[in-house]
A and B are shown apart, each in its own frame.
Chain A
Amino acid sequence: MNLRPDLAIIAKNVAPGSRVLDVGCGDGALMAALRDTANVDARGLELNPGNVAAAVGRGLSVVQGDADTDLADYPDQSFDYAILSQTLQTTMRPHVVLDELLRIGRRAFVSFPNFAHWRVRVSLLWGGRMPVTRLLPLEWYETPNIHHVTIDDFRAFVRERGLTVEGAWFLSDGRPARPAAANLFAEHAVFLLRR
């Protein structure tokens, strides 16, 4: 099975046999991998009904719903991990969603595209236009990404909230990128957080 690189990182770092809530689980690719390779009890939340049907069709437990409104239904600390991959920047209130993740899960994996990647910077600096890149492929008026965030923004946010970073992984062209200059050279970041 070929998982998206950020999902592969998450899959590799979830403890076997744990309980996982995948928020914005898409068609359930990560959940299926976790179930099949790590004996994980995975549950999903997904907005798109076609994706929900596909995931349920794979035998996964997925509920159609919106991360902005429906996380309130889940009891406190009912999962070992809550996962939010490539979804944070699409939510109406990312800070509330993050609070919810760490209320529901003892730990949270969060992955997002880095808006400070050099290609994005070049595009904005020299082109003067909102960047359209491989990871941000849509024009400004139709992109679902309404809260663009950079790696340094996220680090600052996590610090201000007093959260603990248990792990951080950075990707460029689907390959690991060095943490040192990640904010410039990583297209993509994955953080593992806890309170």
Chain B
Amino acid sequence: MSAPALGQNCRAVLPGPLRLDGGVLLSPVEIAYETYGTLNAEGTNAILVCHALTGDQYVASNHPVTGKPGWWTRMIGPGKPIDPARDFVICSNVLGSCMGTSGPATVNPATGKPWGMSFPVITIRDMVRAQGMLLDHLGIGRLKAVVGGSMGGMQALSWAATFPDRVAAAVVIASTARHSAQNIAFHEVGRQAIMADPNWNGGDYYEGTPPAAGLAVARMAAHITYLSEAGLTEKFGRRLQAREAKSFGFDADFQVESYLRHQGLAFTDRFDANAYLYITRALDYFDLAEEHGGVLANAFRGAATRFCLVSFDTDWLYPTSESRAVVQALHAAGAAASFVELSSPFGHDAFLLDSPELNRVVAGFLGNGR
């Protein structure tokens, strides 16, 4: 067998099978990933970075579709808390997504056609197990750390619960151990928008026109949950978009409308509607306590993993109380936990934005401080 690919735009086709939480055996499992830096001789410097719902493996390199810089270059790069000069960084596209890893848009080898809605429903733990297979393939036993924000944080928690011996430290930012009724409700709005688009066609649109309008509405609704009321007011207020007066029509009169329409539309250029359905489902199914007899502390009992949780005070998608619930469970389990609520006007998205405090906490926690 040839050595696994390293660097940018890597792809592994693993024989599997991967036993999914839903009972289905998935085989083969394709995983698209990127690596940065070099694994040291002792194999002790590997950091797995997990991406959020609409993120991808291009964490610190330019996105092939949008051309934009990696989504977390504020956290990963030279002189950053996670530095490829010191750390071996791995980021893979999650199972069910659409940037090269097995998902509804990839071809089902049994039919030679895209899976569409015949792709099995997946969970956060399935994503984590797929990442575990990738690490096996790369020859990485134990991670120095698994790091993620939002859905990436859920994967970090799931990693520590599923493979406690493989994770020395977990960084969980702006995240939660379970999806709340409100979280599920917002996702359902998005899914229904997609499925109400006639182009969705039961998920079978890969040879026709994709349901861009539905996916754009889904993105618009979700995008509101990533921002804060104060942030929206500061950025847009009630200002009008390139006009002096209200049009008495249904154009995007307000700047905030124009902004959301743009966000929705731009999203459809780079994301698959079915993948959005599958990943939001995985998020909604996420309840780490449920997987452990209803007691969250049981997910972490006996683990040697160190945890660092960070929340933001204006994040109402995964508010501080969710992080506190995890911290409480970690205390009950006797695990080493750090937690801080940082202040930011930017809501849930704050974890992706410039935050010297966040960088200081993560760098210090990883022992990469000075």
Chain A residues within 8 Å of B, Cβ to Cβ: 41, 43, 49-50, 52-53, 56-65, 73-75, 78
Contact = CB atoms under 8 A, between A and B. Distances in A.
B39 interface: no
B343 to A, nearest CB: 7
B363 interface: yes
Given A57-B360, A57-B365, 19 more contacts: A43-B336, A49-B340, A49-B343, A52-B339, A53-B342, A53-B357, A53-B360, A56-B308, A56-B364, A57-B363, A57-B364, A57-B369, A59-B365, A60-B338, A62-B339, A63-B327, A63-B338, A73-B327, A75-B331
Q: Give the interface size class of chain B.
A: 20 to 34
A34 B328 CA distance: 24
A56 to B, nearest CB: 5
B367 A59 contact: yes
Contacts of B324: 65
B361 A61 contact: no
B332 interface: yes
Interface SS of A by simple majority: mixed
B63 interface: no
A64 B361 contact: no
A63 B369 CA distance: 18
Q: Which of B334, B341, B360, B361 has the most chain A CB atoms closer than 10 A to its own CB?
A: B361
B306 A64 contact: no
Nearest to B342: A49
Contacts of B367: 59
B338 A61 contact: yes
Nearest to B334: A78
A43 B343 CA distance: 23
A58 B369 contact: yes
Contacts of B327: 63, 73
B338 A73 contact: no
